[in-house]
Amino acid sequence: MAPAMPKGPVREINADRSGPFDNAQGRHSEVSAKRSRQVPFVDTHCHIQIEEFDEDRDEVLIRAREAGVGTVIVVGGAGALSTNDQAVHLAEANADLYATVGMHPHDAKDVSAEAMDRLRSLAEHPRVVAIGETGLDFHYEYSPRSVQQEMFERFVGLAIETQLPIVVHNRESDREVEGMIRNHGGGRLEGVIHCFTSDTEAARKFLDLGFYLSFSGIVTFKNAEDLRDVARWMPLDRLLIETDAPFLAPVPKRGQRNEPAFVCFVAETLARIRGIEVDEIADATTRNAWTLFGLPADASVRES
Ligand SMILES: [Zn+2]
Ligand SMILES: [Zn+2]
């Protein structure tokens, strides 16, 4: 959902960096206490390449590793085209980071032929594990719907061509996203509906198409009871977790700048509502991430 949030509030959040720093130690022990064995988490969707992290990106990664996050997928296309190159550079420099390349539906109207060529060549990079984020956002409609759909279709084509999974942003466009996957995916398209916020009916359709559903900090929000119902009901073998950092920090960090370490709060909420251990959530979601993104099975235990 990255660029959906206006720039202003993010800068305010960024200014309040003392929170995560001060609480890092307490949060870590609080999480570890509930986990008998340290199955690593995968934050399958964040934007730590963008400028909100320029001052403390290394510390953010250290906190993620301390919180048991073994792998982080840095999602390109969060604003400028250059966020894709930045995502790939981060993945080149860190063994536990991978990148995706795409353009957010908000920016669909600004994707030139040259930009598409650049993305096509970046997609061949060995550290790139998916195409996206792409998709549709009919809530904000920063780009006209027809332009979003045209761009989404091109990224679906690129995903099929490169045999990579696709990271789909979907806001108030369930029917159209489903139609795109069904009509243009050729039955070969794999992927994830990231930051899933739709209802059970939509969930069932995406699951029927073989897609994974990824839950963000929204599932921890007080008023997200309907979303928790979906998360409680859906099969564990299609579940993924993410932060979408710097956006959508989960409770109890809501309002702060989000970061990959906080994915543990998403996992804790999912464990609680499903009545299972956090380790089981870590186990399942990490295995699912390895499967979907084709990560080496030892990725999460490698030293970077
Ligand atoms: Zn998104
Ligand atoms: Zn995003």
In order of 19, 104, 262, the CA distances from 61 in angstroms are 16, 24, 11
pLDDT of residue 304: 36
Please give the distance, rounded to the nearest whole angstrom, from the Cα atom of residue 29 to the centre of ligand 1.
30
CA distance 207 to 155: 20
Q: Ligand 1: distance of its center to the CA of 283 in Å?
A: 24
First and final C-alpha spacing in the chain: 28
Average pLDDT over residues 98-117: 96
State the pLDDT confidence band at 39, using cuts at 50, 70 and 90: confident
Tell me the residue ranges of DSSP E strands in the chain: 41-46, 69-75, 97-101, 128-137, 166-171, 191-193, 212-215, 239-241
Please give the distance, rounded to the nearest whole angstrom, from the Cα atom of residue 28 to the centre of ligand 2.
Answer: 25
Q: What is the mean pLDDT of residues 104-119?
A: 96
Residue 20 has pLDDT above 90, yes or no: no
In degrees to the nearest 10, what's the CA dihedral of 264, 135, 211, 73?
-40
Place of tokens 């305010």: 12
Residue 120 CA to ligand 1 center (angstroms) comes to 20
CB 136 within 8 A of CB 177: yes
Alpha-carbon torsion (251, 255, 261, 263), positive or negative: positive
Q: Is the pTM of this model over 0.85?
A: yes
| pLDDT, average across residues 246-267 | 97
- The average confidence (pLDDT) of the chain is 89
CA 83, CA 72: separation in Å to the nearest integer?
Answer: 16
By the 8 A CB rule, do 136 and 170 touch? yes
The phi, psi pair for 71, rounded to 5°, reads -145, 140
pLDDT of residue 174: 98
Q: What is the pLDDT of residues 150-160, one digit of tens each?
A: 999 999 999 99
What residues are neighbours of ligand 2 (ion), with CB under 5 Å? Answer: 2, 244
Q: Where are the alpha helices (DSSP H) in 94-192?
A: 113-122, 145-162, 174-184
How remote is the CA of residue 99 from the centroid of ligand 2, in Å? Answer: 12
Task: Answer yes or no: is pLDDT of 94 > 50.
Answer: yes
Q: What is the pLDDT of residues 159-205, one digit of tens each?
A: 999 999 999 999 999 999 999 999 999 889 999 999 999 999 999 99
Q: Please report the pLDDT score of residue 104 as a whole number.
A: 97
